[in-house]
């Protein structure tokens, strides 16, 4: 059964002072930075709306997802996964639809969508009660969704090596490989946990990370190698995001609670096996929060490789957020790499205020969309809403790089 929510559809486009993009075939040469809408707001129905996911379909439709948490704001609350569609670049949104409803007070969360290269299929993985993983798909641009299939067997394959009690895919969009012998493979980052109630946040700690993958467009799923467990150096890895590099490898960008407060990076030739040991990226601060990563353009048509990365960059505020030493989730910042994440020479602040989880999508005109959780309320620190901003390369690079439509890819 599908449920419809009572949020307002916001059709007014709020501008941040930059010029509005013209409806042209290629990237705008003028800087564009726009606040388009509050996509999800808890209203009176929910305690909070969190954990966004975002994709753009082959038809140019934005599909935005989030967790609508009912009775409290925690990860184990009653949770619905809700979705909205926009066919005009985020200016207006259709009504909210619950694509995976809470069940028997068990959380339903960690939405992980993938747009298939066939031009019609959107795959989604999610978890229920942190004990089962489900798969659904849409073949009509996100208008309707299949009945869920339980794919927990792929996670059961980890048990001889790791006796998990908690599982979760994503969150945020995952990827389909475009190159090499495994082109077409769906690769989904996942994390597992053997809870330890004696440590802070022990319901999700300690943890390990891996991937699950499908070579038959979501019909069956298999486990990949465990990339890393919790070690003295790598503390509680989780919520990693994936991208395919120019040479066809898969790069993971990993959240940890390690002391350097830096993101970690690992590589695999096929997105499943033979992972390199995760290494710290000195340029990417990690407050201990999920981040988002997307390819803006590739070299396939003779253009530049561009990758965008977004997370709360609160490095200049050393005050811890909690008793685990996490830093504040604020100062949401986008960074741009031209060498597959080896360096990040460009950065700009998207939101200097409170901001946490995010996800990214790229339009055929090179417009970059960022869906993220934010909260201005001082006394309701976890009552988040989810907003969408969009910007282009001209804004991000102060017009030093405006892109070339012939080389921009999703």
Tokens of 290: 């999920």
Distance CA 208, CA 106 (A): 23
Cα–Cα distance between 171 and 164 in angstroms, integer? 18
Average pLDDT over residues 123-144: 98
Chain-centroid distance of CA 30 in Å reads 28
For 2-6, 193-197, 234-238, which range has the lowest pLDDT when averaged over its residues? 2-6
The string of DSSP letters for 319-365 reads: -BSSTT-PBP-EEEEEEEESSTTS---EEEEEEEEEEEEEEEEE-TT
Across the range 115-123, mean pLDDT stands at 97
- From the centroid of its chain, how far is CA 288? 15
User: For residue 297, what are the β-bridge partners?
Assistant: 306, 408
Q: What is the mean pLDDT of residues 192-199?
A: 87
For the cut 90, the answer to whether the pLDDT of residue 188 exceeds it is: yes
Is residue 60 exposed (0-12), middle (13-18) or buried (19+ Cβ within 10 Å)? Answer: middle
Q: Are 148 and 100 in contact (CB under 8 A)?
A: yes
Indicate whether 49 pLDDT > 50: yes
- Show the tokens assigned to 127: 């978890």
Report the 10 Å Cβ neighbour count for 163: 9
Residue 287, CA atoms < 13 Å, CB-side half-sphere: 27
Residue in 407, 406, 404, 410 with CA at minimum distance from that of residue 27 = 404
Q: Once rounded to an integer, what is the mean pLDDT over residues 116-127?
A: 98
**pLDDT at site 321:** 64
Give the pLDDT band of residue 11 (cuts 50, 70, 90).
Answer: very low
Rounded to the nearest angstrom, the gap between the alpha carbon of residue 243 and the centroid of all alpha carbons in its chain is: 11
Tell which residue, 97, 119, 359, 296, has the closest CA to residue 217.
Answer: 119
Q: 């030493």: which residue's tokens?
A: 325
Mean pLDDT of all residues in 148-177: 98
Any idea what DSSP says for residue 71?
Answer: S
Say whether 5 sits in a helix, a strand or coil: coil
CA-CA distances (angstroms) from residue 180 to 220, 271, 297, 344, 384? 21, 12, 18, 26, 41
Can you say whether the dihedral through the CA atoms of 273, 274, 279, 281 is positive or negative?
Answer: negative
At 332-342, the pLDDT tens digits run 999 999 999 99
With b for 16 or more beta-carbon neighbours within 10 A and e for fewer, the 228-242 pattern comes to bbbeeebbbbbbbbb
Strand order in the sheet with 262-268: 238-244, 250-255, 262-268, 279-285
pLDDT at 184 over 60: yes
3-class secondary-structure state, position 231: coil
Q: Could you give the 3-state DSSP secondary structure of residue 294?
A: strand
Domains of the chain: 14-20+27-407 (2.120.10.10)
Residue 27 has pLDDT above 70, yes or no: no
Confidence label for 197 from pLDDT (cuts 50, 70 and 90): confident
The pLDDT of residue 296 is 97
pLDDT score of 276: 99
Quickly state the pLDDT bin for 16 (edges 50, 70, 90).
very low
Q: Identify which of 161, 119, 155 has the alpha carbon closest to the alpha carbon of residue 138.
A: 119
- 5: region left, alpha or beta (phi > 0 left; psi from -120 to 50 alpha): beta
pLDDT tens sequence across 350-406: 999 999 999 999 999 999 999 999 997 766 678 999 999 999 999 999 999 998 644
pLDDT, average across residues 52-74:
97
pLDDT value of residue 26: 58
DSSP code, position 127:
E
Whether the Cβ atoms of residue 54 and residue 360 lie closer than 8 Å to each other: yes
The dihedral through the CA atoms of 183, 188, 194, 196 has a sign that is positive
For residue 106, what pLDDT is reported?
87
Residue 24, pLDDT score: 42
Q: Is the pLDDT of residue 147 over 70?
A: yes
Cβ-count burial of 90 within 10 angstroms (0-12 exposed, 13-18 middle, 19+ buried)?
buried
Bridge partners of residue 137, in order along the sequence: 123
């Amino acid at each position: 059964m599908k449920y419809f929510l009572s949020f307002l559809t916001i059709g007014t486009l709020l501008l941040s002072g930059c010029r509005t993009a013209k409806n042209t075939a290629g990237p705008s040469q003028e800087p564009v930075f726009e606040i388009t809408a509050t996509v999800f707001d808890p209203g009176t129905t929910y305690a909070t709306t969190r954990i966004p996911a975002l994709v753009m379909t082959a038809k140019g439709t934005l599909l935005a997802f989030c967790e609508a948490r009912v009775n409290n704001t925690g990860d184990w609350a009653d949770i619905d996964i809700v979705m909205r569609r926009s066919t005009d670049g985020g200016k207006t949104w259709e009504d909210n639809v619950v694509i995976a409803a809470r069940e028997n007070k068990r959380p339903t969360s960690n939405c992980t969508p993938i747009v298939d290269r066939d031009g019609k299929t959107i795959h989604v993985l999610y978890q229920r009660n942190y004990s089962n993983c489900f798969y659904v798909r849409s073949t009509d641009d996100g208008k309707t969704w299949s009945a869920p299939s339980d794919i927990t067997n792929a996670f059961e394959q980890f048990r001889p090596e790791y006796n998990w009690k908690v599982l979760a895919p994503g969150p945020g969009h995952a990827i389909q490989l475009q190159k090499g012998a495994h082109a077409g493979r769906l690769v989904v980052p996942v994390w597992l946990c053997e809870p330890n109630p004696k440590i802070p946040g022990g319901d999700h700690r300690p943890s390990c990370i891996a991937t699950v993958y499908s070579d038959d467009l979501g019909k069956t799923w298999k486990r990949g190698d465990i990339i890393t467990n919790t070690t003295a150096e790598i503390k509680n890895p989780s919520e990693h995001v994936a991208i395919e590099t120019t040479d066809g490898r898969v790069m993971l960008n990993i959240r940890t609670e390690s002391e350097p407060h830096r993101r970690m990076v690992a590589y695999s030739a096929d997105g499943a096996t033979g992972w390199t040991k995760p290494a710290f990226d000195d340029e990417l601060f990690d407050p201990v929060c999920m981040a988002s990563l997307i390819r803006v353009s590739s070299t396939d048509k003779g253009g530049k490789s561009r990758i965008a990365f977004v997370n709360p960059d609160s490095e200049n505020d050393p005050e811890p957020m909690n008793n685990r030493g996490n830093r504040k989730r604020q100062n949401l910042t986008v960074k741009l790499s031209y060498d597959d994440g080896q360096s990040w020479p460009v950065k700009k602040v998207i939101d200097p205020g409170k901001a946490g989880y995010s996800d990214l999508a790229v339009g055929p005109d090179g417009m970059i969309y960022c869906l993220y959780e934010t909260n201005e309320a001082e006394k309701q620190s976890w009552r988040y809403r989810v907003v969408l901003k969009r910007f282009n390369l001209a804004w991000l690079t102060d017009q030093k790089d405006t892109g070339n439509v012939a080389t921009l890819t999703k």
